[in-house]
Amino acid sequence: MNSKSIYSDNPEKTLWWMLAGYKNIDKVSQEIISRHSSSDNAKKQAKQIKHCLEQAEEYFQAASVTSIATQPLLLYYGMVSLSWALVLYKATGDYALDRLNPDHLEHGLSRPLFQYSSRDKPLPDLLTEVETTVSPLEGSQLRGTFGLLAQHSRLEPSSASLTKLDGTVVVTMRSLFEAKSTKNVVELAGRVLSLKDFFFQTPDMGPFLSELGFRPSFAVVTQFTCQLRTDNSVLIDLMTSRCNEAEINSLEASFREHPGWTVRRLPSGVHARLHYQEGKRTGPGPIVSETVHGHRYIYLPKDDLLPDPARFLGAMFLLGMLVRYSPHVWMHFIDNRHPIVDAVEAFLPIAKRTFPNIILNNLTGDSFRFSPPHEAR
């Protein structure tokens, strides 16, 4: 997995232009054949990928011109279309929408129940109570769109990517640190997931959550540098901030659990250093993540993390079902400006921008970051 920066006056438009490359039926059918050594179904599969991408783009475009009253539902169905484009591309070479059994044509999540009484509940209670259950296994597979996306959307390089560039070293964050995220996604079957789970595992929601007095589930990485040594080893410095005493204790203990790291406490975080020898891993460590915007975070909770695409799809499923099946509750929130509306308004642009980027990264195997020209270094 290579990190690639794309600078554009319209990053979102450029992102969708790159996704449109997967509408090329001949090219994609050949890639499917190459990936799966099967040609029986490749052209039909490529056509269905094209159809899914076309629908996804129109759903996202429609969401851009609607209000929050209906936008979550449109974005959810746009995400479903993108999810199926990815599943069709990465699943076996004889896969197709018309060959799926009924269990896989479902959402993969139970429809949430929204009580009329929930209209007046405080935000912390509401985020916890708006929940869904992941469908049980079908054989050895997770079911439905959510389950198949979770199984086909992981980027897990086997070793750290160290790229020498003008005397510096670029480190692929996700591959350097072995994340504690769910190793076997089938363990998600039957798991109850709430809107709080989805929101609190989204780093770009951090500023909003902090404003409301919530402690996000991660620490901000304010400094990350790598120095190439004369022996081709790498010295990595990492600094965090915005942590309280308990979080500093947690981070300090986490770094000290694995060999090679030295760590010292700071007033609002920690400073950790690793002398990294190429070809050697540090073992399980703090969950270090980088968003598509280049913001780095260390996750604090001990619980397993959800795969990024599944997290966004699950959150938008809950919001879409609230919009679609409980308009009397949702519109009451809007009319009375319940804090859930502020939370959703903070989340929607993050999801709208991030989810297509994650799908592109999974399709290509690379990590793309789209930025305006003024951010070029």
- Sort residue 109 into left (φ over 0), alpha (ψ -120 to 50) or beta: beta
Q: Determine what percent of the chain is predicted with pLDDT higher than 70.
A: 85
Residue 183 carries which side chain, given as an amino acid letter? Answer: K
Cα gap 176→104, rounded to integer Å: 34
pLDDT reported for residue 181: 43
pLDDT reported for residue 283: 47
pLDDT at residue 313 above 80?
yes
* Contact predicate 151/139, CB 8 Å: no
pLDDT tier for residue 377 given thresholds of 50, 70 and 90: low
Burial class (CB in 10 A: 0-12, 13-18, 19+), 239: middle
| Most confident range, picked from 179-193, 249-263, 314-328 | 314-328
pLDDT mean over 185-213: 88
Cα gap 82→105, rounded to integer Å: 15
More confident residue, 285 or 356: 356
* Contact predicate 1/365, CB 8 Å: yes
Work out the angle at residue 277's Cα, subtended by the Cα atoms of residues 234 and 172, and round it to the nearest 5 degrees: 60
Helix crossing, 71-90 with 42-64: angle to 10°? 160
Mean pLDDT, rounded, of the chain = 83
* Contact predicate 3/296, CB 8 Å: no
Tokens (6 digits) for 18: 């790159």
Pairing of strands 131-133, 3-7: unpaired
pLDDT, tens digit, for every residue of 147-198?
A: 999 888 865 432 333 444 444 444 444 433 433 344 578 888 999 999 999 9
Burial pattern 196-227, b for ≥16 Cβ within 10 A else e, equals bbbbbbbbbbbebbeeeebebbbbbbeeeebe
Helix crossing, 42-64 with 339-364: angle to 10°? 150
Strand partners, 297: 220, 289
pLDDT, tens digit, for every residue of 5-54?
A: 888 899 899 999 999 999 999 999 999 998 887 777 889 999 999 999 99
pLDDT tier for residue 133 given thresholds of 50, 70 and 90: very high
Q: DSSP string covering 75-128, please?
A: HHHHHHHHHHHHHHHHS-TT--GGG--GGGGS-SBPPP---GGGGGS-HHHHHH
pLDDT tier for residue 301 given thresholds of 50, 70 and 90: low
pLDDT reported for residue 110: 95
Lowest mean pLDDT among 192-196, 238-242, 297-301, 332-336: 297-301
pLDDT at residue 202 above 80?
yes
| DSSP element (H, E) containing 320 | helix 308-325
Q: DSSP string covering 231-259, please?
A: TS-EEEEEEEES--HHHHHHHHHHHHTST
Cα gap 48→31, rounded to integer Å: 14
pLDDT at residue 278 above 60?
no
Cα gap 56→252, rounded to integer Å: 43
pLDDT, tens digit, for every residue of 91-105?
A: 877 778 887 777 677
pLDDT tier for residue 236 given thresholds of 50, 70 and 90: confident
DSSP annotation of 326: -
More confident residue, 119 or 28: 28
Could you tell me the pTM of the whole model?
0.86
pLDDT reported for residue 180: 39
Cα gap 351→75, rounded to integer Å: 9
Lowest mean pLDDT among 165-179, 215-229, 271-285, 324-338: 165-179
- Sort residue 242 into left (φ over 0), alpha (ψ -120 to 50) or beta: left
More confident residue, 293 or 29: 29
φ, ψ (nearest 5 deg) of residue 253: -65, -40
